[in-house]
Structure 1
Amino acid sequence: MVDNKVNDHSIVEITDEDRDVIARINGNSETSREHKNQVELTVSSLRGKLHRQPPFPACSCIFRVPKVLRRHNEKAFVPNLVSIGPFHHGDENLRVMEEIKRWYLHSLLERKPTPKTSLECFVEEIGRIEQKHRDCYGEKFDIYSGKFVEMMVLDGCFIIELLRRCDKLVPWDDDDPLEYTSWMLKVLQNDLFLLENQLPWKVLKCLFDLTKVNDDHSLLALALKFFESSVFNQTPQIKEGVQTKHLLDAVRESLISLHKPQSTERRYWEPIPTVTELLQAGVKFKSKSKVWNNMLDITFKNGVMEIPPIDIESNAESHFRNLIAYEHCDPDIAIFNITSYAVILDNLIQSSEDAEFLIQKRIITTILSKEDLACFFNGLYKDTIPSHFSYVELTEKVNAHYNHRCYRWRTILCRDYFSNPWSIMSFIAALVILVLTFLQTLYSLLTYY
């Protein structure tokens, strides 16, 4: 029997469900292509925004104060009269001083102290290293080259002309409002101290050298003398061999010039007790001799804490806050000297009684009330961490003395029994009676036996 082989050419019928599967596959393919295109576009866009160089060079030394620090007192960081540099350039309430800046520049050019005193020389020298001046600021500015150089020349010439007039190297003009209006000069001192209101020292030095005559003092000496009356009543110390960055940096260097930090390798430190608590432990406080001229030189020896005198005026908070902000912004600053000083005073002064005692000892001279002085130091260094504390050994010695019980007992004994002649006489009388009673009892016992 022969098997009949039949070729089966049956047609496969596509159902609706199969059509849905095919459509989903095709749709997924389209979605995949769209997604891939979107990824490529995003990658291309992101690659075009990448920086080959760091956005802020390591040489930056003039910064905008971070919000975490400025929120405690916004006014402490904002100029009231004059804008220096790009951070506050063009502010509406500071435009009046722009006219005085131009007048000062015109006076300098008219006086022409040197052959190089000309706008051509100023612009050429400042423009030659414009990028280095821009790199001094910790922020990028959308200011074209000509405008930036003009700002540097105008602000720089205003500052050096002001320093010379205040030092009487150049006579004041009869119509100069900065000379006959005392409040303006005081406000200017504060404005030129602000971290956000600084000009690179290289700009000032360049313009100063172009206009310097033989009888001029050094730029650093003029700058420190200008701030002498407004910075805590401290005598400025010129530290040779230190590369100055700007006016605020020059003042800070003068304040820390004679101060030797203690054990900078150790970062851990403990707070110290308040003035009232230390007095109960027998600690004595003494105002250090003005010969030292260094407010940071706090010492503790043989139960005596010596603190150099300091003058706290109405602008002290602004000065302290800008110095502290600068220490925390500049990466080149390794030891937070001013912040550490604020920590020590904050530990010592927690109440109006603590503040009043230091005022009575002439350690602090101030126009503030004792309550305001206590609040001033309590909120001075909030949201800052002095990672490199400069008073490690001091805090260890103070805490060791405070935790020693014998000092506290001796203080209680002196306070309760030897504070005045009547207490001393009463104590001696009680001691005599106690001795006589003991002898009488002893005599009675001996007689009995």
Structure 2
Amino acid sequence: MEEQQERRNVGERELEGGQPSRNNGQTGLEPEEHRINIVEISHRDWIESLRTAEESTQSQSQWPRIPKVPQMLRGTQDFKKFYEPRLISIGPYHHGKPDLHEGEMIKRLCAKKFLADSNQDIEALYTKIESNIEAVRTCYDNIQPNEYDDEALARMMLLDGCFLLEFVCGKDRKKVLRSHQINFAEPDLFLLENQLPFGVLKLIFEGANLEGPVKKEMKKFVIRTMELEEDEEDEEPSHLLALLRSALVGKSEPKQERQPDKKGKSSSSSGGDGRFCCPRKKGKQRGIRQSFRNIKELKAAGIHLRKSRTSFLRDISFNSYYFRGYLNLPPIIVDDSTKSRFLNIVAYEMCPDAPDAPDDYAVTSYICFLYDLIDHADDVKELRSKHILHNLLGSDDDVAQIFNEIGNDLVDPDAYEDVKDCIQKHYKKRVNTWIAQALHNYFRSPWTVMAFIAALLILFLTGVQTYYALPGN
């Protein structure tokens, strides 16, 4: 009877401030990574571990896995801080850190309001989550029972799930949270290591007396937060970060950006084949050797920027009309959370052992594409002038630095290789550069046009005068 009463009150204790217990009695510490000492295992076990390696990495659970950020990214420059929460921890990877204690209090307030508004029984919710606890455990890397037992993990999922649903789907979160708490918590929800399985959210939401379904409400939140267009993607996401990526990228087969006339040639890209190339920026080897360096050089060769008709990252295309070319790019908003969100989506795409991870590398390729185009603040200024990039950071130098830092060590999967090849073919025709420079020098404003016409008229009149001044005329 005492054990049943203990489990009956588990949810109430958590919302009142109790911390999930670990079997080892420690709190506030990160679980140790599982290590294998190659010296201590036998030769036969070592051979067997190699044979079963592929099977273990490709095994799927009931719900998709939530991987950790690859070490190759975490150890790059100062990127580590962009993968760790500043206020709110979701899931077990960062749970219990001392500097996130304020976030625990915020989560309890939101969870309490969600339970009250949804008119759900907390004991019934806990029972549903605990009955699926093995599926939950396999979603995370190396979360062993000696770190979080079933009860502690179920409590964590219940509290974090109720908080997340209230924050994302709640109509009056400002009644619970202050504006600065919302602003700090929001970026934490899009960290790869700060995700909750979508299956857990469905378990909690399905009995709620709220508008639904949960995917639709979460999608509204992502679109509203990122100021994105709504796509028609119906695939169920693995977690909130996957939903953000899907909203950014758009459908796998987007519409052709602009249909050229009979004299024009165009190229568009809608994904990628996963091929990897050398990440060096200058003169990279691809289908055609790339020689253009930035937007400024493209402009000098008669290649102009235009805003794509949609904001989906896949909507990139190039049109060539004799000596003029048009590179169509989707509009993007750059703010103080852009770097963190792109880095975490790139980390998600780079996880080879996550069966649900996207294999088209669309966001990674997009970052590498902008890395090719942006060298300096002048390139960002050109993007702004065409209403392709909206800079909320205040400095064009800061924007250029963001894309150069993110793309510097990335290997380009070249999802937009066809577009780059068409740009290069247009760029290497010197006659295009000469004509473009002439148009820029003599036709960039009404005054230069008038001066050019006046100069031609003077030359013509001088020639006529010289002709009639010759003997015999």
| Structure 1 length-normalised TM | 0.77
Pairs within 5 Å for 1:108-187: 108-111=114-117, 113=119, 117-141=120-144, 142-165=147-170, 168=171, 171-172=172-173, 174=175, 176=176, 178=177, 181-187=178-184
Is 1:340–1:390's contact at 8 Å kept on the other side of the alignment?
A: yes
Give secondary structure in 1 for the equivalent of 2:251: coil
Residue number among 70, 81, 96 corresponding to 1:75 in the alignment: 81
Q: Which amino acid aligns with 2:93?
A: F
> Which residue in 1 is equivalent to 2:456?
428
Please give the alpha-carbon distance, in whole angstroms, between the structure 2 residues aligned to 1:158 and 1:243: 21
How far did residue 131 of structure 1 move?
1.8
Is the 2:306–2:329 contact (alpha carbons within 8 Å) kept by the matching residues of 1? yes
Structure 1 residues without counterparts, runs of 5 or longer: 1-40
Tell me the CA shift for residue 373 of structure 1: 1.3
Q: CA deviation at 1:438?
A: 9.1
1:258 maps to 2:239: no
Ranges in structure 2 where 5+ consecutive residues have no aligned partner = 1-39, 254-268, 276-285
* C-alpha distance in structure 2 between counterparts of 1:359 and 1:265, whole Å: 31
Residue 315 (structure 1) aligned with residue 333 (structure 2): no
Distance in 2 of aligned mates of 1:308 and 1:208 = 34
Aligned length: 387
1-structure distance, mates of 2:72, 2:43: 36
**Shift in Å at residue 100 of structure 1?**
3.0
Q: Deviations over 1:318-371 (max 9, x none)?
A: 111111111111454211111111111111111111111111222111123111
Residues in 2 aligned to 1:251 and 1:80: alpha-carbon distance in whole angstroms: 20
Is it true that 1:360 corresponds to 2:360 in the alignment? Answer: no
Determine helix, strand or coil for the equivalent of 1:210.
Answer: coil
2:231 counterpart of 1:237: yes
Q: What's the CA shift for 1:130?
A: 1.7
RMSD: 3.0
Cα distance between partner residues in 1 of 2:233 and 2:365: 21
C-alpha distance after superposition, 1:232-257 (max 9, x if no partner): x32343511x1310000011112222
Alignment pair present for 1:102 and 2:108:
yes
Q: Structure 2 vs 1, CA of residues 383 and 91 (structure 1 numbering), >3 Å: closer, same or farther?
A: same
CA deviation digits over 1:362-398, x for unaligned, max 9? 21111231111111111112332233x2212211111
Partners in 1 of 2:271 and 2:189 — Cα distance? Answer: 33
1:23 match: none
Cα distance in structure 2, aligned partners of 1:69 and 1:219: 32
Alignment of structure 1 residues 28-427 onto 2, 5 Å = 43=42, 56=57, 58-59=59-60, 61-70=65-74, 71-72=76-77, 73-111=79-117, 113=119, 117-141=120-144, 142-165=147-170, 168=171, 171-172=172-173, 174=175, 176=176, 178=177, 181-213=178-210, 216-231=211-226, 233-240=227-234, 242-258=235-251, 260=253, 261-262=269-270, 264-265=272-273, 267=275, 268=286, 271=290, 272-289=292-309, 292-302=310-320, 303-329=325-351, 330-331=354-355, 332-368=357-393, 369-387=395-413, 389-419=414-444, 420-427=448-455
Partner letter of residue 100 of structure 2? L
Label 1:430 to 1:63 Cα distance change in 2 as closer, same or farther (>3 A): farther
Indicate conservation of the 8 Å contact 1:299/1:394, yes or no.
yes
Q: Is contact 1:286-1:304 (8 Å) kept? A: yes
The amino acid of 2:86's aligned partner reads N
More off after superposition, 263-272 vs 358-367: 263-272
**What TM-score, normalized to structure 2?**
0.73
1:114-173 per-position Cα deviation (integer Å, ceiling 9, x unaligned): xxx2233222222222222222223344321111111111111111122232xx2xx458
> Higher helix proportion, which one?
1
The answer (yes or no) to whether the contact 2:273–2:415 under 8 Å persists in 1 is: no
Identity %: 27
* Aligned partners of 1:275 and 1:348 also within 8 Å: yes
Indicate the structure (1 or 2) with the bigger Cα radius of gyration. Answer: 1
